[in-house]
A and B are shown apart, each in its own frame.
Chain A
Amino acid sequence: MLPRDGAASTKSRFATGAGLAALGRRYGALAALALLLLYNLLFTRNFLSTQTLYVNLTQVATIVIVAVGMTLVVATGGIDLSVGSLMAIAGALAPLIFLSQAPALSNPAIAIPLAFVLPVLVTAALGLFNGVLVTSYRIQPIIATLVLYIAGRGIAQVMTNGYLQSFKNPAFQSIGLGRPLGIPVQVILMLIVVAVAAWAVRSTVFGRYVLAVGGNEAAARLAGAPVSSVKRSVYVISGALAGIAGLIVIAINSASDANLVGQNMELDAIAAVAVGGTPLTGGRALVIGTLVGALIIQLIRFTLISNGVPYAAAQIINAAIILGAVYIQRP
């Protein structure tokens, strides 16, 4: 009897262990976010002010917007290293349009909408270029998007000759500085992007296809999923979202520096996706998780810095947190 009891108890202990691991996988990121919020409520002065809230949200908004596109790309088993460079291209192009002396662009009613739309169309087209390399030429996503990672920032620098473009244009800068109902515009944009993407993954055929392609590409193809066009679409979406993020960044800064806009964004976005629980192997897309992941990274940085930890040390702790989060959530 005794050995059997022992066996049973080990088994149940294993079961609890597995249960804990499953809980960690499912709610680990959310629990970490809750803990961070609780810590700040208790120990960070003035944490509960709209000022603090908005500082954090405006800082995280561009990362979230890019990371949502990255989530879809990662869900198909791909990766997009070009997002930061695409941000620089959009950021270089928009001021060229609304600062242009060309007669056709002298009317702000034409120039301003064009400064919003054209850069995003261009980065979406560059996303399509990434997608075509991945699908039609079967180039591995990391290499395909490495091309534009390297060339893209150069293109932005060539477009502006490397000069800083500074400007003051309230109509254009509303995308970074506007506050309808007191809420920063980019935070609203971020929430819309997250909501639409989460809905699309859960409730649309496209979303199902994305997961199917990442889960088992051969099976998805046999089942009739339009694998190539689904893959191209996610890179187009990622490119367009990177373009929007680039516009927000230059609007906040009142300046566009092709050397700096979007630098290291690919790393921030991938980190947010990974902490959010989306596996890099594809087949799953946790859009809300990505939002939570980006918020965790942002809050850790904020908490450490507002408690006097230097930026560099915060960076190291961030690295450890990313590893820990992925370790807990590993399949």
Chain B
Amino acid sequence: MLTQPSTMPSPWRASAQWLGRNGALVVLVALVIFGAGRYDGFLGVYNITELLRYNAMFGLLALGMTFVIMTGGIDLSVGAVAVLASVVAAQLSYLGAFPALLGAVLAGAAVGLLNGAVIAWLGIPPFITTLAALLGARGLALILANNAAVSVDTGAGFASIGLDGLLGAPYPVLILFGAYLAGWVLQEHTPFGRHVLAVGGNEDATRLMGLPVRRIKLGVYGLSGGLAGLAGVLLAALTFTGLPTEGVGWELQAIAAVVVGGTLLTGGMGSVSSTLVGTLLLGLIFNLLNFENGRGSISLTAYWQSVIRGGFLLLVVLLQSRAARRAP
């Protein structure tokens, strides 16, 4: 008589919870199986490499966003920072691949650290701070680029970041997986990773425990900025230009990837690997659409891409909301 129905364990509830947490992975696997069965060349090296190469920059933005969201914050500036970094990279490209890469990442990290400092020490909400940084970084990119696209110096080795690779894997793909591996280690196996979750779970309690909340915030926004800078390097390397007008709405695509992966925006939880799944899932939808168009049975324009992505985001958040309500 005193048993409460909501706390009764049931296999259905457990599986609903599991699905809510790993739903994105299940859908990803299902879509890959579907694609492999339906389209020639879907699992070919070329398709997989191109898919990863193109989505690498979005993956980097979403990785940084994951850490920010785990602290309960948000970073709206990542798209603009990536664009700023692409201009910096293109302008430094005559120095060679490494100096250009370093300069762009440092430029991104500088904007991120500025965000973190304003949020942590001035107490301005992350949403407003990074919105201002979005406007500022876009303005700065336009000024640096003198309102035009900046061409990459193709003679000095920078372009090889976009063209070449190691052991058959293109550099953008290696950078993507390298960054996620490092991000996973940082999140799962270092004190910083624990602290990030603690800040997002309960900021006041974290402060009372004596953890340096402000420095942790500085760290996550700096990291997000640096990764956005790296995404900018890839943008410049893949297009051979620094594009001050590119990247509109990328910050929201990155947030969508994080959410589709299963990280809640409330902070205090989340995982790096789920964001990689979310990024690949959103990229895969576009890839499947291309294959379907190639078969000629349907003819959907590129404009359907965002409609389908939005519908997919809707589906995922509805499933998550159901699973969350079923969970005790």
Contacts and interface: CB of A to CB of B under 8 A. Distances in A.
Contact of A312 (B118, B132, B142): B142
A101 interface: no
Interface string A168-181: 00000000000000
Interface string A81-110: 100000000000000000000000000000
A263 interface: yes
B265 A140 contact: yes
Given A151-B311, A319-B133, A274 B128 contact: yes
A314 interface: yes
A280 B127 contact: yes
Interface string A20-49: 000000000000000000000000000000
Interface string B310-324: 110110011001001
Given A314-B139, A319-B135, A154 B307 contact: yes
Contact of B314 (A142, A147, A157, A162): A147
Contact of B303 (A146, A158, A263): A158
A142 B306 contact: no
Chain B interface size range: 35 or more
Contacts, number: 142
B303 to A, nearest CB: 4
A138 B135 contact: no
B5 interface: no
A319 B307 contact: no
Interface in A92-135: 133
B315 to A, nearest CB: 10
Nearest to A151: B310
Nearest to A149: B252
A143 B124 CA distance: 21
Contact of B259 (A137, A143, A148, A322): A143
Interface string A220-243: 000000000000000000000000
Interface string B215-227: 0000000000000
A315 B321 contact: no
Interface in B208-260: 248-249, 252-253, 255-256, 259
A162 B303 contact: yes
B278 to A, nearest CB: 13
B136 interface: yes
A85 B132 CA distance: 21
Interface string A292-313: 0000000000000000001111
A79 to B, nearest CB: 8
B301 interface: yes
A61 interface: no
A330 B123 contact: yes
B128 to A, nearest CB: 5
Contact of B266 (A140, A144, A318): A140
A316 interface: yes
A146 to B, nearest CB: 6
A144 B252 CA distance: 12
Contacts of A133: 314, 317
Interface of B: 74, 118, 122-125, 127-129, 131-136, 138-143, 147, 248-249, 252-253, 255-256, 259, 265-266, 301, 303-311, 313-314, 317-318, 321, 324-325
> Nearest 4 CB-CB pairs, A to B?
A151-B310, A315-B139, A154-B306, A312-B142
15 contacts: A149-B249, A149-B252, A150-B253, A150-B256, A151-B310, A151-B313, A154-B305, A162-B303, A274-B131, A312-B141, A312-B147, A322-B135, A323-B124, A323-B128, A327-B124
Given A133-B317, A150-B256, A158-B307, 15 more contacts: A137-B317, A140-B265, A146-B259, A146-B313, A149-B252, A151-B313, A154-B307, A157-B303, A157-B306, A318-B139, A320-B136, A322-B131, A323-B118, A323-B122, A323-B129
